[in-house]
Amino acid sequence: MLITGPRGTKDILPDVSGNWQYIEKTVRDICSLYGYKEIRTPIFEHTELFLRGIGETTDIVSKEMYTFTDRGERSLTLRPENTAAVVRAFLEHKLYAESLLSKMFYIGPMFRYDRPQAGRYRQFHQFGVEALGSKGPAIDAEVIILAVQLLERLGLTDLNLYVNSVGCPECRPVYREKLQDYLREKTTDLCTDCQSRFDRNPMRILDCKKTKCTEESAGAPHIVDCLCDDCSTHFEQLKSLLSAAGIHYVLNPRLVRGLDYYTKTAFEIQYAPLGSQSAVCGGGRYDGLVAECGGQATPSIGFAIGIERILLALEKQGLLPDASNEIDVFVAPIGKEVQGIAFKLLCDLRKNGVTADMDFMDRNIKGQMKQANKYPARFVAIIGDDEAAQGKVMLKNMQSGVQELVDIHAVQNKIQVEMED
pLDDT digits (tens, 9 = 90+) for 109-161: 999 998 887 778 999 999 999 999 999 999 999 999 999 999 999 999 889 99
Name which residue leads in pLDDT, 300 or 193. 300
- The predicted pLDDT at position 137 comes to 98
* 53 in Cβ contact with 45 (< 8 Å): no
What are the CA-CA distances from residue 169 to residues 182, 201, 231, 396 (Å)?
A: 20, 13, 10, 73
Mean pLDDT of 39-53: 95
Tally of CB atoms within 10 A around 94: 9
CA angle 167, 168, 174 (to 5 degrees): 75
Task: Tell whether the model's pLDDT for residue 283 goes beyond 90.
Answer: yes
- The predicted pLDDT at position 258 comes to 57
- The predicted pLDDT at position 420 comes to 80
Task: Tell whether the model's pLDDT for residue 57 goes beyond 80.
Answer: no
Task: Tell whether the model's pLDDT for residue 287 goes beyond 60.
Answer: yes
pTM of the model: 0.89
Three-state SS sequence of the chain: CCCCCCCCCCCCCHHHHHHHHHHHHHHHHHHHHHCCEECCCCCEEEHHHHHHHCCCCCHHHHHHCEEEECCCCCEEEECCCCHHHHHHHHHHCCHHHCCCCEEEEEEEEEECCCCCECCECCEEEEEEEEEECCCCHHHHHHHHHHHHHHHHHCCCCCEEEEEEECCCCCCHHHHHHHHHHHHHHHHHHCCHHHHHHHHHCHHHHHHCCCHHHHHHCCCCCCHHHCCCHHHHHHHHHHHHHHHHCCCCCEECCCCCCCCCCCEEEEEEEEEHHHHHHCEEEEEEECCCHHHHCCCCCCCEEEEEEEHHHHHHHHHHCCCCCCCCCCEEEEEEECCHHHHHHHHHHHHHHHHCCCCEEECCCCCCHHHHHHHHHHCCEEEEEEECHHHHHHCEEEEEECCCCCEEEEEHHHHHHHHHHHHHC
**Fold: same for 14-171+227-316 and 327-416:** no
- The predicted pLDDT at position 55 comes to 77
- Please give the CATH topology (third level) of the domain spanning 327-416: Rossmann fold (3.40.50)
Task: Tell whether the model's pLDDT for residue 102 goes beyond 90.
Answer: yes
> If you average pLDDT over every residue of the chain, what do you get?
93
> At how many degrees (to 10) do helices 137-153 and 229-244 cross?
40
- The predicted pLDDT at position 206 comes to 87
Q: CA 181 to CA 219: how far, in whole Å?
A: 12
- The predicted pLDDT at position 260 comes to 64
Segment among 191-200, 330-339, 381-390, 398-407 with least mean pLDDT: 191-200
pLDDT-derived band at 208 (thresholds 50, 70, 90) equals confident
Mean pLDDT of 272-277: 80
pLDDT-derived band at 216 (thresholds 50, 70, 90) equals confident
Segment among 68-72, 195-199, 273-277, 370-374 with least mean pLDDT: 273-277
pLDDT-derived band at 56 (thresholds 50, 70, 90) equals confident
**Which range has the top average pLDDT, 172-181, 320-329, 348-357?**
348-357
Q: Where are the domains of the chain?
A: 14-171+227-316, 327-416
CATH (one of 1.10.10.920, 3.30.930.10, 3.90.650.10, 3.20.20.10) for 14-171+227-316: 3.30.930.10
Mean pLDDT of 345-363: 95
